[in-house]
């Protein structure tokens, strides 16, 4: 399997694990859904894909600081 796909799947899994009480969990759900759609469409190398990955990690970082 492609390393980029594995990387995206790991990011999606981590975004799913954000606490439902977190403000960032709601924000991350849209990014997670968009990443899933790109993954299914095989469009991970797009500029949109890169932006979504960046936003996803930004949300994870902000959620971690929230605790």
For 4-41, write each residue's pLDDT tens digit. 899 999 999 999 999 888 899 999 999 999 999 999 99
Contact assessment for residue 48 and residue 13, using Cβ atoms and an 8 Å cutoff: no
Buried b (16+ CB within 10 A) or exposed e, 16-46: eebeeebebbebbeebbebbeebbeeeebee
This prediction's pTM: 0.87
Per-residue pLDDT at 43? 86
Q: Looking at the 3D structure of the chain, how many domains does it have?
A: 1
Smallest CA-to-CA distance from 36 within 16, 58, 21 is with 16
Domain that holds residue 30: 3-66
Considering just the CA atoms, what is the radius of gyration of the chain in Å? 12
Distance in angstroms (rounded) separating the CA atoms of residues 50 and 35: 10
């Amino acid at each position: 399997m492609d390393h980029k796909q594995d990387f995206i799947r790991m990011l999606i899994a981590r975004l799913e694990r954000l606490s439902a009480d977190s403000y960032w969990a709601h924000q991350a759900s849209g990014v997670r859904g968009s990443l899933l759609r790109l993954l299914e469409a095989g469009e991970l190398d797009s500029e949109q894909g890169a932006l979504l990955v960046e936003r996803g990690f930004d949300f994870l970082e902000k959620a971690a600081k929230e605790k």
